[in-house]
Amino acid sequence: MQNEVVIKTDKLTKRFGEFVATNEMSIEVYKGEIFGFLGANGAGKTTAMRMLCGLSLPSSGSATIAGFDVYTQTEEIKKNIGYMSQKFSLYEDLNVLENIRFFGGIYGLNNQQLKQKSEALIEGLGLNNESKKLVGALPLGWKQKLAFSVAILHEPKIVFLDEPTGGVDPVTRRQFWDMIYDASNKGITVFVTTHYMDEAEYCNRISMMVDGYVRALDTPTELKKKYGAKSMDDVFFELARGAKRKAD
Amino acid sequence: MFFLNWQEGQNVKQIKMKQFITFVRKEFYHVFRDPKTLLLLFGMPIAQIVLFGFALTNEIKNTHIVVCDYANDNASHRLINKIEASKNFEVAKIIMDHREIESAFKSGKIKMTIVIPPNFESDLKHFNKTQIEIIADASDPNTANSLNNYASNIIMDYQNEVMPESKGFMQINTQIRMFYNPELKGAYNFVPGVMALVLLLVCVLMTSVSIVREKELGTMEILLVSPFNPILVIVSKAVPYFFLSLVNLSVILLLSTTLMHMPINGSIVLLYFASAILILTALALGLLISNVTNSQQAAMLISLMGMLMPTLLFTGFMFPIENMPLPLQFITNIVPSKWYYIIVKSVMIKGLGIASVWKEMLILSGMALFLLVVSVKKFKIRLE
């Protein structure tokens, strides 16, 4: 793994009035890394991720994404990242090909790139017979895989995944993680939130967020050692049980 | 790396244009693949025109009346024939006894009675003078008045026919001419109103719902994370509805000229231009609504309530603005459809040009500009 830093935050904080959603977050994420961003519901994950994507302005602290500043260079950041949200985020009334063309188009791909990329994508997912089908008619597992492929269509430096495997069966989840590894091998940094602790084991490094603070940051092996836990489940429980905030 | 496209390889303007076209195409897919949207978009104007044209009309046709004919002579028969021949009246019954009049009214089916006195023909011949009594059911005063007018006109006509020499003799004849709408057709009033109503409703509803739908589905998040300019999200959403509304307008105009025989006396270009301004106003309003709600239902409700009532009440096509109390008259000034209504009536019916409606055009444009600026400023380009 190269040690080029692609995400760097220093005391990044977001306040909503009195409420501090994300408190002085300082992390570094390396190129090509699969970085697990863990925490209970309401711990401040989504807020932190939105700041990193340029969707939300920080209250204080600093952050650079792919070398660009979150306060002043959001335009540049947006060109260099991909994003997949909790909610399924393709258009269900557009077919597979139209969705690919749409998202490729708004990321500035030209016709030749679009054609080449969409063919490769459809081939890779084995969707040859479904490319003219409306996305709404596809099974959830395929939709999620398609959404991920679309999110990295423009070969971003970093892709942010917000609970990408919610509600998906174990086999599809496994396939989904194979895709994440592929992306990582191509040098794309994967920043992923999840509630599945077995998925946390697949990450190169993970951070654990409790009540707006990053309480732990290390490789899964080191974390288990440090907390004397057998699995990530135990680590999570150990850290999260001190949480005061209720889920939102 | 594809983002290189942005930095050097290609012209940034070219990329932006392509992004924009991609987005507009997507919006058209949404419209044409949703039967509900299509139905609303094209069904509403047709339904409105037909409804207002044939069902909700204040013209009086085929009213049942009773004639109490005491004379029962040639002259009275000729008069009755003449009344029956008019499209306004249908003689339900000819009676000989005035005591039957009241029971006829009480049945509710009869709105007017004409009483012809005995010796009608001979009085006319020998004295050049006779009287006819018209009794109308005034429980609805407007209808009674109109019926009275129609009947008087027919009787006046009849008098001129049977004794042309009496014309001008010892009497003042009022000559009434109804300018711009000689047949007093209701369509002249409601077609411009329906145009305003449909354009406003459809545009406001469509834009607000389509933006809120992206919020609801979570795709708005993806769009805001993408390098696509958020302001262009709005513009691209407005483009399809702008053009579809112009198509809509053409459908309304076509229906009203063919079915309702409405004239278009003025410049059709001016008519479309004024409509374009109203559509822009509506798109801006829709955008404003989409900013304050997060669900499609709420957006729909606000659009309907917020547009339908003011447009129906304050535009002037249902209730004359001059008859309203002053505070209400003042309120009508902030309703965009009022100004549009004035413009359309002037251009379509009176055939006036820009010189006569520039003031209204200016007010409407001002409203459109103000609303557009406010709504674009208010559009949330970040999520909090």
> Closest approach of chain A CAs to the CA of B383, in angstroms?
6
The string of pLDDT tens digits covering residues B272-325 is: 999 999 999 999 999 889 888 888 889 889 888 888 888 888 888 777 888 888
Three-state SS letters, chain B: CCCHHHHCCCCHHHHHHHHHHHHHHHHHHHHHHCHHHHHHHHHHHHHHHHHHHHHCCCCCCCEEEEEEECCCCHHHHHHHHHHHHCCCEEEEEEECCCHHHHHHHHCCCCCEEEEECCCHHHHHHHHCCCCCEEEECCCCHHHHHHHHHHHHHHHHHHHHHHCHHHCCCCCCCCCCCCCCCCCCCCHHHHHHHHHHHHHHHHHHHHHHHHHHHHHHHCHHHHHHHCCCCHHHHHHHHHHHHHHHHHHHHHHHHHHHHHCCCCCCCCCHHHHHHHHHHHHHHHHHHHHHHHHHCCCHHHHHHHHHHHHHHHHHHHCCCCCCHHHCCHHHHHHHCCCHHHHHHHHHHHHHHCCCCHHHHHHHHHHHHHHHHHHHHHHHHHCCCCCC
Instruction: Pick B18's closest partner by Cβ from A16, A98, A105.
Output: A105
B294: contact with A, CB 8 A cutoff: no
Instruction: Pick A50's closest partner by Cβ from B10, B22, B383.
Output: B383
User: Which residues in chain A are closer than 8 Å to B382, comparing Cβ atoms?
Assistant: 55-57
What pLDDT is attached to residue B365?
A: 95
Lowest mean pLDDT among A17-21, B188-192, B226-230: B188-192
Does the pLDDT at position B5 exceed 70? no
Does the pLDDT at position A114 exceed 70? yes
N-terminal to C-terminal alpha carbon distance within chain A: 37
B19: contact with A, CB 8 A cutoff: yes
Residue in B closest to A76 by C-alpha = B227
Contact between chains at B19 and A50 (C-beta distance less than 8 A): no
Share of chain B above pLDDT 70, in %: 90
pTM (2 decimals)?
A: 0.77
Q: Residues B67-94: what's their mean pLDDT?
A: 87
Q: Residues A124-153: what's their mean pLDDT?
A: 90
Query: What ipTM was reported for this prediction?
Result: 0.88
Contact between chains at A93 and B15 (C-beta distance less than 8 A): no
Residue from A15, A102, A106 to probe the interface with B (highest B Cβ count within 10 Å): A106
Query: How does B38-64 read in b/e, with b if 16+ C-beta sit within 10 Å?
Result: eebbeebbeebbeebbeeeeeebeebe
How many other C-beta atoms can be found within 10 angstroms of the C-beta atom of residue A53?
25
Q: Residues B140-152: what's their mean pLDDT?
A: 82
User: Which residues in chain B are closer than 8 Å to A89, comparing Cβ atoms?
Assistant: 217-219, 221-222
User: Which residues in chain B are closer than 8 Å to A55, comparing Cβ atoms?
Assistant: 221, 224-225, 382-383
> Closest approach of chain A CAs to the CA of B379, in angstroms?
14
Residue with tokens 């990450």: A203
Instruction: Pick B6's closest partner by Cβ from A79, A87, A90.
Output: A79
What pLDDT is attached to residue B1?
A: 46
The residue type found at A198 is D
Sheet holding A205-210, edge to edge: A81-84, A158-162, A189-193, A34-39, A205-210, A213-218
What pLDDT is attached to residue B280?
A: 92
Q: Residues A51-64: what's their mean pLDDT?
A: 91
Residue from B8, B34, B217, B225 to probe the interface with A (highest A Cβ count within 10 Å): B225
Lowest mean pLDDT among A69-83, B55-69, B335-349, B369-383: B55-69
What pLDDT is attached to residue A60?
A: 93
The band of B58, judged by pLDDT with boundaries at 50, 70 and 90, is low
Contact between chains at B218 and A113 (C-beta distance less than 8 A): no
Q: CA–CA separation, B253 vs B49, rounded Å?
A: 10
The band of B55, judged by pLDDT with boundaries at 50, 70 and 90, is low
User: Which residues in chain B are closer than 8 Å to A83, comparing Cβ atoms?
Assistant: 221-222, 225-226
Does the pLDDT at position B84 exceed 50? yes
A109: contact with B, CB 8 A cutoff: yes
Instruction: Pick B2's closest partner by Cβ from A87, A92, A109.
Output: A109
Distance from the Cα of residue A142 to its chain's centroid: 18
Does the pLDDT at position B14 exceed 50? yes
Contact between chains at B6 and A110 (C-beta distance less than 8 A): no
Rg of chain B over Cα atoms, rounded to whole angstroms, equals 29
Instruction: Pick A57's closest partner by Cβ from B10, B218, B382.
Output: B382
B227: contact with A, CB 8 A cutoff: yes
Mean pLDDT in chain B? Answer: 83
Residue from A75, A103, A107, A153 to probe the interface with B (highest B Cβ count within 10 Å): A107
Instruction: Pick A78's closest partner by Cβ from B1, B23, B225.
Output: B225
The band of B7, judged by pLDDT with boundaries at 50, 70 and 90, is low
Residue with tokens 């924009």: B20
Does the pLDDT at position B53 exceed 80? no
Does the pLDDT at position B182 exceed 80? no
The band of A63, judged by pLDDT with boundaries at 50, 70 and 90, is very high
The string of pLDDT tens digits covering residues A159-214 is: 999 888 888 888 888 999 999 999 999 999 999 998 888 888 899 999 998 888 88
User: Which residues in chain B are closer than 8 Å to A53, comparing Cβ atoms?
Assistant: 225
Contact between chains at B3 and A80 (C-beta distance less than 8 A): yes
Residue in B closest to A102 by C-alpha = B22
> Closest approach of chain B CAs to the CA of A202, in angstroms?
26
What pLDDT is attached to residue B369?
A: 93
The band of B168, judged by pLDDT with boundaries at 50, 70 and 90, is very low
What pLDDT is attached to residue A82?
A: 93
Lowest mean pLDDT among A163-177, A229-243, B65-79, B285-299: A229-243
